Amino acid sequence: MRFTGKVWRYGDNVDTDVIIPARYLNTADMKELALHAMEDIDPTFAGKVKEGDMIVAGKNFGCGSSREHAPGALKAAGVACVVAESFARIFYRNAINIGLPLIELGEGDINIKAGDMLAVDLAAGQAENLASGEKFAIPALPGFIQDIAQAGGLVPYTQQLLAKKK
């Protein structure tokens, strides 16, 4: 999978309550939730985010609640992938399960600014910041997590598994 998109830049510990506040969780309609994505830290996001944009953040992205509505709302808002130094584990799991690509870069400075354009090639394991020309490697997903991602998420993956068993 290859894509190019504009960067939305955030800091450390972006929690699931700001990704999608609980006051909106009386629906599980991701399109509707997407209208409120990130609004408590960035009221401009939902109105301006474009299909294919990417989020780049610091450490522990997605900490807090297990609500899958968080990666779900970002995906429905058009976010193509989230790049972070590290991810909270339930968010990581959920994103893989619903087929939202994540790129975990490890601790350290990520030299990517808001508005930069990123080109990501998941299959080749390469990304490039088109603004600075800087290239970085995307760590490969381990074992069957790769299979889940390739199947497009846990539901299609499980469907395939169950079909094989029959």
Partner 1 sequence: MARAMTMTEKIFAAHAGLSEVQPGQLIKAKLDLVLGNDITSPPAIKEFEQISDKVFDKDKIVLVPDHFTPNKDIKSAEMAKTMREFARKQNITHYFEVGRMGIEHVLLPEQGLVAPGEVIIGADSHTCTYGAVGAFATGVGSTDMACAMATGETWFKVPASIKVELTGKLTKWVSGKDVVLTLIGMIGVDGARYQSLEFAGPGVASLTMTDRLTISNMAIEAGAKNGIFPVDSITEQYLTGRVKRAYTPVAADPGAEYIRTITINLEKLTPVVALPHLPENVRPVSEMALTPINQVIIGSCTNGRIEDLAQAAAIFDGKQVHEDVRAIIIPGSQDVYLEAVKLGYVEIFVKAGAVVSTPTCGPCLGGHMGIMAKGERAVATTNRNFRGRMGHVDSEVYLASPAVAAASAVLGRIAGPEEVA
Residues that bind partner 1 (CB under 8 A): 13, 15, 17-18, 21-23, 25-28, 40-41, 59-60, 63-69, 71-72, 86, 88-90, 93-94, 97-98, 142-145, 148, 153-155, 158-159, 161-162
* Residue closer to partner 1, measured from CB, 94 or 129: 94
106 CB-contact burial (10 Å; exposed 0-12 / middle 13-18 / buried 19+)? exposed
Closest contact distance (angstroms) between CB of 134 and partner 1 is 26
* Residue closer to partner 1, measured from CB, 131 or 145: 145
Distance (Å, whole) CA 1 – CA 54: 14
* Residue closer to partner 1, measured from CB, 140 or 162: 162
Closest contact distance (angstroms) between CB of 29 and partner 1 is 9
b/e sequence 16-46, b meaning 16+ C-beta within 10 Å: bbbbbeeebeeeeebeebbebbbbeebeebb
Closest contact distance (angstroms) between CB of 53 and partner 1 is 23
Closest contact distance (angstroms) between CB of 116 and partner 1 is 25
Closest contact distance (angstroms) between CB of 90 and partner 1 is 5
* Residue closer to partner 1, measured from CB, 21 or 125: 21
* Residue closer to partner 1, measured from CB, 124 or 155: 155
Contact criterion met (CB below 8 Å) for 20 and 69: yes
Instruction: Return the sign of the alpha-carbon dihedral for residues 18, 21, 27, 31.
Output: negative
Contact criterion met (CB below 8 Å) for 78 and 53: yes
